[in-house]
Amino acid sequence: MKVLLTGAEGMLGRNFRNSWQLLRPHDELIAVARSDCDLTDIQSVRSLLHNVRPNTVIHTASKVAGIVEKLDHPMHFLLQNNIIDANTIQAALDAGVGEFLYISSAAAYPAKKEAVFQEDDLLSGKLETANEPYALAKISGMKLCQYASKEFGVSYRSVLPSNLYGPHDHFLSQHPHLIASALRKLHDAVVNNAATVSVWGDGTARREFTYAPDVTDWLVTQIGHLQDWPSWVNLGCGDDYSVSEYYTLVSEIVGYSGDFYFDTSKPVGVQRRLLNSAVARDMGWSSKTSIDEGLVQTYSHMLSQIEKSDLK
């Protein structure tokens, strides 16, 4: 089997590469990063797919950003993601690719307060304002895969992971995800002997974070069997914690004993987003890594990057 992976240098892409090497070393994985192919250029994408001729495409590439950038540049953010997804899906069809795994996001679900989302909740309500451009792009990509499967008889499926954390997270990006941000800020606070760390919001918003290697390990086993999937599947660990609880857990791991300042002037997004992953569990999915173990492994990875001077 020959598989093409987009977004190979992103957090999820790197974990896919690790999982593939571990679990399917005899199947060929061709990992493509932004420097290898501009996915916003349809001719480049068509050339890539024509030359590689993969059996399956795993599409993780997307334009990601923090809340502030999405609020400031919604048109650019939506347009770039739509172009990337439309080009990749169309080029895969043109090249005769029979199987396609589209990585969507739990952000595609509506902004329902205190909600636990199952697959048929998609398009059932208004989207959260800050995430609307990204959510619209992800919904469009999922529907393109669904329509392609129906019209052309291919197995183009989508997965909606919860928030993810783990090795290769973006610890130094301008707007990192919650766990990466907490690890970096609290580590720096310990190093600099800071007495207080600022946290966006009041700390009560709840988030589900799943250890990325668990996700990629399971998805790697599913490649070649996507025809048995429904159009899209939720994938989460099944547990959520408040922002305050995540910071407390991280503080215990990094050894931070100072205070937190909760900045309620900052946007925090929806109050809660937890996935019902029963469909995936019936298909064999389980999250094997506890939050404590996952945080320890992620912090260890961050420290190794610091030692290599990648984050200095």
Nearest to 259 by CA among 206, 198, 188: 198
Clarify whether 134 is annotated catalytic.
Answer: yes
> Left, alpha or beta for 38 (phi > 0: left; psi -120 to 50: alpha)?
beta
* Catalytic position from the list 109, 134, 156, 256: 134
User: Bridge-partner residues for 177, per DSSP?
Assistant: none
State how far the alpha carbon of 19 is from the alpha carbons of 59, 61, 100, 152, 303, in Å: 15, 17, 18, 30, 22
Which residues touch 140 (CB under 8 Å, ≥6 apart)? 82, 85, 86
Rounded to 5 degrees, what are φ and ψ at 47?
Answer: -65, -40
DSSP, res 132: H
Helix (H) or strand (E) holding 183: helix 178-191
Angle at 226 between CA 51 and CA 56, to 5 degrees: 10
User: Catalytic residue numbers?
Assistant: 134
